Amino acid sequence: MAFLPITKQEMEDRGWTQCDFVYVIGDAYVDHPSFGHAIISRVLESHGYTVGIISQPDWRSSKSIDVFGRPRLGFLVSGGNMDSMVNHYSVTKHKRKNDAFTPGGVMGKRPDYATIVYCNLIRQTYKDVPILIGGIEASLRRLAHYDYWSESMKRSILLDSQADLLMYGMGEKSIVEIADALNSGLDVRDITYIDGTVFRTETLDESLPTIVLPPYEALKASKRKYAESFKIQYGNCDPFTAKRLAEPYGKEYIVQNPSQKPLTTQEMDDVYALPYERTWHPSYTKAGGVPAIEEVKFSLVSNRGCFGACSFCALTFHQGRIIQTRSHESILAEAELMVKDKDFKGYIHDVGGPTANFRHPACEKQLSKGACGGRQCLYPTPCKNMKADHSDYIALLRKLRKIPGVKKVFVRSGIRFDYLLADKKDTFFKELVQHHISGQLKVAPEHVSDAVLARMGKPRNAVYNRFVEKYYALNKQYGMNQFLVPYLMSSHPGSTLKEAIELAEYIREMGYNPEQVQDFYPTPSTLSSVMYYTGLDPRTMEPVYVPTDPHEKAMQRALIQYRNPKNYYLVREALLAAHREDLIGSGPKCLIRAIPPRQGKPTAPPPKPMGKKPPTKKPAAKTPAKPAPKKPAPKTKRK
């Protein structure tokens, strides 16, 4: 095994005079199956194609693209494992300080809108070489989309990048079909028939069923038109039922073919059995390596896809709703490799995927007829045809626990608690509590207001409460004292100050003290982002309240962390604006004190211990007042 070449000398040392493909990536080169560029390049290699890697080129110089010279078949371009704009900016559009996908975590090694910039850089030198784009950044921008960072409607990335072909989704099947077509001598402009691809054309093939979407100019002019167009796109993500989509741009069209069929278990196994080096390229060691590998080095991917279909998640557009799984043998073989790693301490950090406890399609129909177009599997309630069964996952985890050298197997990627409760057997729930939690279990209720949860596509709050009660009951039964850490989201479409305060009151009752809060981040191609931009729910075309004002968003976020003294004035302003003065004072139900806090003094009673069953009606004990300091500390400035 060896890393793929990153220099011309390394290419020549392999005896190559030219690469078939040159892969330009926005991340550091990490040869691990959790990194998209590693999978695509190794898949091509396994089919006999040669690939050279250009990682994080200097986008200010066209020479940085010319490392290997002209590729025989084409350039591959990916912005990285993460959208470059999400990588660069927080939800408040402040520049992030670190980039986990860059050696040493250094920020600034890739440009904004990296895929577009890299492609235009290539075009400066190679006018006629095919350029194929893929990865999450290209996949979610394949048609016209709302761009949060520029606050505008942007056209398909295929046009702005000047690329020839776009691969969306995971891409293993698409890239091989494209490579074979190019290798046979077919012009890239004639490769219009491959599933999971998007191309540009001046004429439509009338022999194929095609839905013509509203033209780009109409989408720019009318937010409602965009919501209507997105609804059509959302209903055409299934590989078995989707039709071609054509989006007009003047005299030409951007055409999206239906997505690729799900990988079989054997195909998934083959992908993960490729000869990955499983770490960063040695040239990064001096800089301290690539931080992103730490999250996945001792984790196991067991599945892809998600039928949870949360509104704010792009998985429906990228990986699809049909679950794809690896065999036990494949996962166990990878675990055996982990045990031999010199840095392995006996702990497998995770066994999962987008949703850890999905190990088979929601129902058998999906494998032959696809996912239902007008019905979600879990929302608003579990479908009667859904098969809620954890037996395969239980068997896998038991096998992993028995591997010599493995001390503990954790489940840290998200679990769907509504799916867990839908399983009539509670064997998995019991074993999860007994064996697979590292002190605290992270779950994602996201909110408690049923009105907001409906917009999110999440189960009603009563479902989460049932899960909480059972979780703590099982902990008590087994003599465990493990916590729950809920992920909460502020400012999602549908959330007014009323719902934000409802969430704060729930946090008070449950005794939580959230250290992290995710403010809703409008990223391309999610239902929630369409709601954010249009003020409409594209599923129903109903108007949706959207908190877009930065100050209101700051108040909603502060309410979730109302105990933090720095948030006092924002919380107070929110409560006054919502006419909830009853929550200001010294009573047990109050969120903040009536008197502004001194520096370092809490604004609310301390949270209850999270290890105990949360629901309780007893008022918090009063804390004796401390003597005032001789010199009063300055008040917290209002944000």
Task: Write the CA distances from 51 to 18, 39, 73, 179, integer angstroms.
Answer: 9, 12, 10, 12
Q: b vs e for 193-231, b when ≥16 Cβ sit within 10 Å of the residue's Cβ?
A: ebebbbbbeeeeeeeeebbebbbbebbeeebbbbbbbbb
Tally: H helices and E strands in the chain: 23, 24
CA distance 129 to 362: 43
Q: Concatenated DSSP letters for 276-310?
A: ---EE-GGGGGGT--TTHHHHTTEEE-EE--S---
Number of neighbours of residue 520 by Cβ within 10 angstroms: 24
What angle, rounded to 10 degrees, do the helices at 36-46 and 172-183 form? 40
- Say what the pLDDT of residue 286 is: 96
- Say what the pLDDT of residue 606 is: 61
Q: Which domains does the chain have, with CATH numbers?
A: 8-199 (3.40.50.280), 298-438 (3.30.750.210), 443-616 (3.30.750.200)
The amino acid present at 373, given as its one-letter code, is G
CA distance 110 to 87: 10
Q: What is the mean pLDDT of each run of 10 residues along the chain (639 residues)?
A: 92 97 98 97 98 97 95 98 97 96 97 98 95 97 98 98 97 97 98 97 94 98 98 93 96 97 96 96 96 95 93 89 96 96 96 95 89 86 94 98 98 93 96 95 94 96 97 96 93 98 95 86 96 97 97 96 95 97 95 81 58 42 42 38
CA distance 2 to 565: 53
The amino acid present at 188, given as its one-letter code, is V
- Say what the pLDDT of residue 516 is: 77
- Say what the pLDDT of residue 372 is: 87
CA distance 201 to 507: 53
- Say what the pLDDT of residue 315 is: 85
CA distance 354 to 319: 9
Question: What does pTM read for this prediction?
Answer: 0.91
Contact 281, 6 (CB under 8 A): yes
